[in-house]
Chain A
Amino acid sequence: MSRVTSIRRPPAGYIKMLLEEQSQLPTSPLMGVNQLRSKAVDYLGTLTLPTKRDEAWRFTDISALTKLLFQPVSPVISLENTDVEHFYLEEATTRLVFVDGVYAPELSVMTEESGVTVVKLPSADAIHAELIELHLGRHVDLEDNVFATLNTAFLHDPAIITVARNTPSSAPIHVLFIATQTGVASYPRCLVVAESGSSMTLIEDYVALQGSNYFINPVTEIALADNARVNHIRVQRDSPEAFHIANCSVSVGRSSNYQSVSVALGSKISRYNLNVLMDEGAECAVDGLALIADSQLSDTHSCIDHSQPHGVSRQLHKCIVGGKAHAVFNGNIMVRQGAQSTDSVQSNGNLLLTDKAHVDTKPQLEIFADDVKCAHGATIGQLDNEEVFYLKSRGLSDNVARNLLTYAFGAEIIDRISIPSLKHQLEQTVLEQTSIKL
C-alpha cells in the first residue's frame, strides 16, 4: 500500500498537511521537549517552503517534493537482524537503529562504555534531563529554517549521546537510519553532547532497503565543550527516489576539535546544511564528497563561523557528477570582527563526467577581522588529459584510465574516514559506480 498521494495544492498548505499527524504524538516526559515542539509548530505557522526565488535555494528546486504527500509511519515494519546486518559496522559496539524514523530496540546494541551514555527520553534521569534541556534545539536555528523546525515539531524519540568529562575516545557509535517503506516521512534527530576534555566518534548513516520514495528530514546537533574532540562521519546512501533534507549544527567550544567527513551518494534530491560555530582556538576539518549520477541533485550548504580568535578550519568538498545530475556547493567561511588570527582554507573540486552534468559552486569568504590567514578556491573540470595519457601509456584502456581517475578523485575524501570497515564499504561503492577492479 502506498501512502503517496498526488496533490495539486499550493506549497503554503503543504506544511500544514505534513503536520496533520503531529498532534497525535505522545506527550514527552520532558516538559522542555513539549515546549520545543509547540514552539516549532508556532514558527511553522509563519514559515513557507523555500522556492528557487530564495537565495539559499536558488539552485535547488524542491517542487517535486511538494507534489507528493508523505505521512509519518506507525507501526514499524518489523525487521530481523539478518535483513539489515550488512549495514552494521564491526568497529561500532554501540549501535542505535531507527526504522523509518522509529527507534528499533531489537536491532540496537548498547555497550556500557564508561563515560558514554545513550539517553532515551522516557528514562532520562535528572542530570541528563538537564543536559537535554540545555542543548536540544539550542544549536539549530528554528526561527527561519523551515526544515529544521519541521523536524523539531516531530521531536519524539531522538538519539541522544552524552560523553562525560575527560572520557577518552572509545569505539565509535553507529546511528543507523533504515528506510523501508514507500511514502513515509521521517524526522530523525540526533544530539551529541561532548563534555570538556572528552573524545568520541559518531557515525550517522542513512540507508534504504529498497529503491522507494520517501521524505527524510534529519536534524543533528553536536555540542563540544572546551578541549573536546568529535569525529563525525555522515553517510547518506538513501534510495535513489528519496528526498533527503538535513540540517546539522555544531558548536565547537574553546580549543576543541571537530572533524567531519560527509559522503552523499543517494537520494533523488538531497540537501545538507552544515553550520559550524567556532569558539576561541577551536579547530575543524569539514570534508565532503557527493557522488551522483542519473538525474540526482545533491546540494551542500556549509557555514563555518569563526566568531572568536585563533580558530583553524579546513574544508575540502568534492563533487563527482555523472549523467544529468546536478551538484550544488555553497561554502561560507565567516570570520567575524574580533576573530583575529583565524586560519582558514577551503577548497572545492568538481568533476563533471558528462556533457549534461551540472555543478553550481559558490565558495565564499566573509572577513570582518584584519589579521587572518584565509584561502579558498574552486575548480570545475573534466578529467585531465595528461593524467589519462599517463595511465594509457601504462597499458590501461581509455575507459579504465578515466574510471580510475574518477575513483581516485573521490577516494581522496573517503580515505579520510577513520573507520576501516566503513571506508572499505564506501570504496567498494565507488569502485562499483566507476566499474574499477582494484
Chain B
Amino acid sequence: MINKDSKTILEVRGLHATVNGVEILKGLDLTVKSGEVHAIMGPNGSGKSTFAKVLAGHTAYEVTAGTAMFEGQNLFELTPEERARAGVFLAFQYPIEIPGVANSQFLRLTYNTVQAQRGNEELDPLEFDDFVREKMKLLEMSPNFLDRSVNEGFSGGEKKRNEILQMALLEPQLGVLDETDSGLDIDALSIVAHGVNELVNKNNAIVLVTHYQRLLNYIVPDFVHVVDNGRIIKTGDKELALELETRGYDWVGVEYQAANLAMATQGAA
C-alpha cells in the first residue's frame, strides 16, 4: 500500500552487475518505500532474477557500478549474512535441500542467529516449537514438516511454503521473492500468497520477481516494473501486469526504443 508518511527502504541507482564477465544489469533504478509491494516482471534473461540475487549478495554476481541503499546503509558493503540480519530476505526460486538436518533445527538456528544479532532473546527448542507451529498455521503447513530434513522430498509448493515460513520467522524489512509462483498449482499459489499478504505491513516492503501475472491476482502490487536488457523500461500499476499478460513484453521494448529515439532526435535538433 502506498502511504504518505512512508520511509524509503531501498533505493537502487544506476546498478550495473556482471556474471562471468557478462553484463546483465545495465543501469537499474528502483525506489521501494515501506508498505509497498513492487512487482518486477520481464522476459526470460532480462535480468530480474539477477537483480534479486545481487540484492541478497550472491558472490557469483559482481556489482560494477551503481549503489543500493537499504535503510540508510550501503547494501553492497555488507556480506550476505549481514544483509539477512539487517532485514533483507530472499525467497529462492530453487530452495536447496539439506538431508540429515531437521527443518526444525535449521529454522531455529537461523531464527536464533538473526535474533541474537538484533539483540533479541533466543528461543530454546520447546519455546521455538510453539512459536514456529503458530507461524506454520499461516501457511497451512503440517507440523510434520518440522521433523523432516530441510526441503528434502518436499514438493515444489511445500518448498515455497517453507521459504515464506522462513520469511515469517525472520521478519525482514524487505522481502524479495524470486519466482515464488513458479511450479505452484493454483491451490498452493493461493496459500503462499495468503501467507505473504499476512506478512506485509506498513513498515516493510515486498519485491516480487515474476514472469507471470497470475501471482499478482493474489498479491496485488502497488507498482509493476518491466525489466528488459538489464534496466527498468516501464513502470505502471497493477493494470500494466494485465496488459502484459494479454500483449506480451515486445511492445514495451518497442515503445521504450521509440521514446529513446525521439529523445535522441530532440537532442540532436
Q: Do A and B interact with each other, yes or no?
A: yes
Q: Which A positions have Cβ atoms within 8 angstroms of B?
A: 384-387, 389-398, 400-401, 404-405, 407-412, 414-415, 437-438
* A interface secondary structure, majority: helix
**Chain A positions within 8 Å of B114 at CB level:** 394-395
Would you call A395 and B100 a contact (CB within 8 A)?
no
Would you call B100 and A393 a contact (CB within 8 A)?
no
**Distance (whole angstroms) from the CB of B81 to the closest CB of chain A:** 5
If A385-B59, A393-B90 touch, does A404 touch B101 (CB 8 Å cutoff)?
A: yes
Highest count of chain B CB atoms <10 Å: which of A391, A393, A395, A404: A395
Would you call A404 and B79 a contact (CB within 8 A)?
no
List 15 other contacts, CB 8 Å, given A393-B84, A400-B113: A385-B60, A390-B96, A392-B57, A392-B79, A393-B81, A393-B83, A393-B90, A394-B166, A395-B110, A396-B81, A396-B109, A404-B101, A408-B101, A408-B149, A412-B99
Residue of A nearest to B115 (CB): A395
Bitwise interface map of B from 136 to 152 toward A, beta carbon under 8 Å scored 1, else 0 = 00000000000001000
CA A4 to CA B16, docked complex, whole Å: 67
Would you call A438 and B101 a contact (CB within 8 A)?
yes
Would you call A396 and B98 a contact (CB within 8 A)?
no
Would you call B105 and A414 a contact (CB within 8 A)?
no
**Distance (whole angstroms) from the CB of A314 to the closest CB of chain B:** 16
CA A397 to CA B79, docked complex, whole Å: 9
CA A296 to CA B58, docked complex, whole Å: 35
Residue of A nearest to B92 (CB): A390
CA A411 to CA B95, docked complex, whole Å: 20
Bitwise interface map of B from 68 to 103 toward A, beta carbon under 8 Å scored 1, else 0 = 000000000001110111000110100110111100
Would you call B59 and A395 a contact (CB within 8 A)?
no
**Chain A positions within 8 Å of B31 at CB level:** none
**Distance (whole angstroms) from the CB of B112 to the closest CB of chain A:** 9
Highest count of chain A CB atoms <10 Å: which of B59, B92, B105: B105
Would you call B101 and A393 a contact (CB within 8 A)?
no
B200 within 8 A of A: no
Residue of A nearest to B169 (CB): A394
CA A437 to CA B106, docked complex, whole Å: 10
25 inter-chain pairs at a CB distance below 8 angstroms, sorted by A residue, are: A384-B96, A385-B59, A389-B58, A389-B59, A393-B57, A393-B80, A393-B81, A394-B113, A394-B114, A394-B166, A395-B84, A395-B85, A395-B110, A395-B113, A396-B81, A396-B113, A398-B81, A404-B98, A405-B98, A407-B100, A412-B99, A414-B100, A415-B100, A438-B105, A438-B108
B257 within 8 A of A: no
B170 within 8 A of A: yes
B56 within 8 A of A: yes
Q: How many residues of B contact A (CB 8 A)?
A: 31
**Distance (whole angstroms) from the CB of A260 to the closest CB of chain B:** 19
CA A401 to CA B106, docked complex, whole Å: 11
CA A405 to CA B117, docked complex, whole Å: 22
**Chain A positions within 8 Å of B89 at CB level:** 393
Ranked nearest first, the 3 interchain pairs of A and B with the lowest CB-CB distance are: A411-B100, A395-B84, A392-B80
**Distance (whole angstroms) from the CB of B151 to the closest CB of chain A:** 10
**Chain B positions within 8 Å of A390 at CB level:** 92, 95-96
Highest count of chain A CB atoms <10 Å: which of B84, B90, B100: B100
If A389-B59, A394-B170, A395-B110 touch, does A411 touch B81 (CB 8 Å cutoff)?
A: no
**Chain A positions within 8 Å of B92 at CB level:** 390, 393
**Chain A positions within 8 Å of B110 at CB level:** 391, 394-396
CA A405 to CA B100, docked complex, whole Å: 9
Residue of B nearest to A413 (CB): B100
**Distance (whole angstroms) from the CB of B93 to the closest CB of chain A:** 11
**Chain A positions within 8 Å of B109 at CB level:** 396, 400, 404, 437-438
Residue of A nearest to B89 (CB): A393
Would you call B80 and A412 a contact (CB within 8 A)?
no
**Chain A positions within 8 Å of B60 at CB level:** 385
Other-chain residue from B83, B100, B105 in contact with A412 (beta carbon distance below 8 A): B100
Residue of B nearest to A414 (CB): B100
CA A405 to CA B90, docked complex, whole Å: 19
**Chain A positions within 8 Å of B149 at CB level:** 408
CA A196 to CA B82, docked complex, whole Å: 61
Residue of A nearest to B95 (CB): A390
* CB within 8 Å of A: which B45-79 residues: 56-60, 79
CA A387 to CA B105, docked complex, whole Å: 17
